Amino acid sequence: FIIDYRIEGGAWQQYSRRVPANPSQVTYQGTVDGLPTNTVVDLRVRVVSQTNEISPPSPEVRGRTKCSAPTQPPQGIRLDSPSINEVRVSWTRPPKQTWMCDQLDVEIAYRKGDEPEKIIRVPGDQTEYTFPAEPNQKWAVKLKATNQMGSSPWSPEVTLTTRQGAPGSVRQGHRLLRG
């Protein structure tokens, strides 16, 4: 048997490996490797006779290849502090062809000061997130793209220390006069 396939309405292509026939077998299966992920694929089968004659194709069936994990993290990660009480991380989404699926979320791993790392997940269409912060606090942030099949590698870590706050009130000193 020969398996033909076409990707998203493109031209029909013949898969390089044939499925061998066995006279006692009724049901057959074949796998077409190397197709792009999360893509509509049409398939059809042709029979090859013992004299190498090829039949007309079977009716076609439509399927979709599975998703796989994104290959790239978000890009252009910036960390700033719009105020002494906020830290904002912003980024651009990775190129669509690296998503490997229709849906994409972003995971943000962050550490503030000496606290343990925490991770939050935001929708893929979001390109910034603002955290509450304290003055003079060191932050470290990294991001990765994620979907239902897995995650990209983490981005390089970006760091920032928030600005110092206003000084506290000054207590008036008393001077002892001796005389």
Q: What is the arithmetic mean of pLDDT over 116-120?
A: 97
Which pLDDT belongs to residue 102? 86
pLDDT range class, residue 170, cuts 50, 70, 90: very low
Instruction: Compare 174 and 63 and report the one with higher pLDDT.
Output: 63
On the question of pLDDT at 93 being above 50, the answer is yes
Sheet containing 13-14: order of strands: 13-14, 2-7, 40-46, 61-64
> pTM, whole model, 2 decimals?
0.69
Cross-strand pairs, 121: 107
pLDDT range class, residue 163, cuts 50, 70, 90: confident
> And the tokens for 151?
């995650």
